[in-house]
């Protein structure tokens, strides 16, 4: 016979709602905004495999056209979580005083420096046009460093704002006066098909770099810590799932579907994503050395902080990521 006390506790749990039942019936909604691209693989897998649902979160996924839209929207509370190059978070703090927190890593940027086919060395870009998403953040700074290393300073070339990577690859295809840009998968593989020339991978041209990552307004993270942890845990679980060899065919199918890719480009994109140094970082770990490079580029090219970048703790808060790792078992 079941003791009366146990029956009473069970009845109360059903009537009042136990934490497990409450989570199952009312997942917490997290609004997320990203750039289109293969860097979102973990997001796609977590949605497809029900990993966010299992963690008790419901993801409202939105896409951005450019970094300005993403930065202003996050600061205004139009959404909760941003996935983008983490230098955008640095720019939010330094240019707008936004109290942001980078909470997770992602990748090396996976960028290559592409030029029109007639260009055979970077120095030939003198007097030509570099196209970017924004002129003074993230991948534009990577490209400007490549040019500086070739002896080209600001003013030796034109910088033109075009938009996200998917917009830039189309601009280079359609207008040969758009001479150079940083492009990542799958758009880098499309670029090759258009006859554009890669001058090399950014990690080989300028070294380690913390590219895409996850960032939030610090106040939102503080008020929604458990939901943020569960969201990040879903991403970690998804990336672990995607890396298993037995799931390769499923990952290829998902990439092809979500990004509308033909089979050859899908296969190349998958291989790039699975390369730990260049592609998606295992468990989306934050690359501290790569982030120091992000700050160093901004100090050198934008002259911020008197050329001496501050410590990472001004921008980075990994407590929610550490909690997510405990949940992602």
- The predicted-structure confidence for 22-69, as pLDDT tens digits, reads as follows 344 589 999 999 999 999 999 999 999 999 999 999 999 999 999 999
- Cα 134 from Cα 211, distance rounded (Å): 15
Q: How many CB atoms lie within 10 A of CB 26?
A: 11
312 and 257 fall within a common domain:
yes
Based on the structure, what is the number of domains in the chain? 2
- Has residue 21 been placed in a domain? no
Q: What is the DSSP letter of 153?
A: P
Phi, psi (deg, nearest 5) at residue 102: -80, 125
**Which one of 175, 205, 235 terminates a domain?**
205
198 and 117 fall within a common domain:
yes
| Dihedral angle, C-alpha 288, 290, 294, 295, nearest 10 ° | 40
242 and 267 fall within a common domain:
yes
- Has residue 131 been placed in a domain? yes
CB 166 within 8 A of CB 142: no
Range(s) of the domain holding residue 285? 27-108+210-327
59 and 198 fall within a common domain:
no
101 and 133 fall within a common domain:
no
**Which one of 165, 185, 205 terminates a domain?**
205
> Which residue has tokens 């120095």?
123
Of 192 and 7, the one with more pLDDT? 192
- Has residue 194 been placed in a domain? yes
Residue 175's CATH number: 3.40.190.10
How many residues make up the chain in this entry?
329
Mean pLDDT of the chain: 92
- Has residue 9 been placed in a domain? no
**Which one of 170, 205, 240 terminates a domain?**
205
Please provide the distance, in angstroms rounded to a whole number, between the alpha carbons at the two ends of the chain: 36
269 and 322 fall within a common domain:
yes
120-169 per-position pLDDT tens digit:
999 999 999 999 999 988 999 999 999 999 999 999 999 999 999 999 99
- Cα–Cα distances in Å, from 70 out to 83, 107, 164, 204, 279? 9, 19, 11, 28, 23
What is the percent of the chain where pLDDT is above 90? 89
Q: Is the pTM of this model over 0.85?
A: yes
pLDDT of amino acid 25: 52
| Contacts of 193 by beta carbon, 8 Å cutoff, 6+ apart | 265
- Cα 55 from Cα 299, distance rounded (Å): 39
214 and 323 fall within a common domain:
yes
Strand 57-63 relative to strand 197-201: parallel, antiparallel, unpaired? unpaired
Inform me whether the pLDDT recorded for 7 exceeds 90: no
- Cα 234 from Cα 303, distance rounded (Å): 38
- Has residue 132 been placed in a domain? yes
- Has residue 91 been placed in a domain? yes
Inform me whether the pLDDT recorded for 4 exceeds 80: no
- Has residue 22 been placed in a domain? no
- Has residue 170 been placed in a domain? yes
304 and 168 fall within a common domain:
no
pLDDT of amino acid 26: 82
Query: Backbone dihedral region of 17: left (phi > 0), alpha (psi from -120 to 50 degrees) or beta?
Result: left
Inform me whether the pLDDT recorded for 13 exceeds 90: no
78 and 223 fall within a common domain:
yes
122 and 216 fall within a common domain:
no
> Which residue has tokens 């949605």?
47
121 and 163 fall within a common domain:
yes
174, burial (CB in 10 Å: exposed 0-12, middle 13-18, buried 19+): exposed
Tell me the mean pLDDT in the region 218-230.
98
pLDDT of amino acid 324: 98
């Amino acid at each position: 016979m079941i003791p009366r006390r146990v029956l009473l506790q069970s009845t109360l749990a059903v009537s009042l709602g136990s934490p497990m039942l409450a989570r199952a019936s009312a997942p917490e909604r997290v609004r997320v905004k990203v750039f289109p691209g293969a860097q979102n693989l973990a997001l796609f897998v977590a949605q497809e495999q029900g990993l966010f649902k299992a963690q008790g979160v419901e993801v409202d996924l939105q896409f951005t056209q450019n970094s300005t839209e993403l930065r202003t929207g996050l600061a205004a509370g139009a959404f909760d979580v941003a996935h983008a190059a983490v230098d955008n978070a640095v720019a939010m703090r330094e240019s707008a005083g936004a109290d942001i927190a980078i909470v997770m890593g992602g990748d090396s940027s996976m960028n290559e420096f592409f030029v029109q086919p007639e260009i055979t060395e970077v120095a030939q870009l003198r007097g030509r046009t570099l196209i970017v998403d924004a002129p003074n953040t993230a991948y534009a700074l990577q490209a400007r460093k490549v040019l500086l290393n070739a002896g080209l300073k600001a003013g030796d070339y034109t910088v033109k704002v075009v938009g996200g990577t998917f917009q830039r690859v189309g601009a280079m295809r359609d207008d040969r006066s758009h001479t150079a840009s940083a492009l990542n998968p799958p758009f880098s593989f499309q670029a090759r098909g258009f006859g554009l020339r890669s001058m090399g991978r950014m990690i080989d041209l300028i070294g380690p770099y913390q590219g895409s990552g996850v960032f939030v307004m610090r106040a939102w993270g503080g008020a929604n810590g458990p939901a943020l942890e569960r969201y990040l845990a879903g991403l970690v679980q998804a990336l672990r799932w995607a890396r298993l060899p037995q799931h390769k065919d499923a990952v290829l199918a998902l990439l092809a579907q979500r990004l509308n890719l033909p089979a050859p480009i899908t296969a190349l994109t998958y291989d790039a994503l699975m390369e730990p140094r260049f592609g998606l970082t295992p468990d989306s770990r934050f690359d501290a050395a790569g982030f120091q490079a992000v700050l160093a580029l901004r100090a050198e090219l934008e002259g911020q902080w008197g050329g001496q970048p501050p410590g990472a703790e001004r921008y980075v808060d990994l407590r929610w990521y550490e909690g997510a790792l405990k949940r992602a078992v």
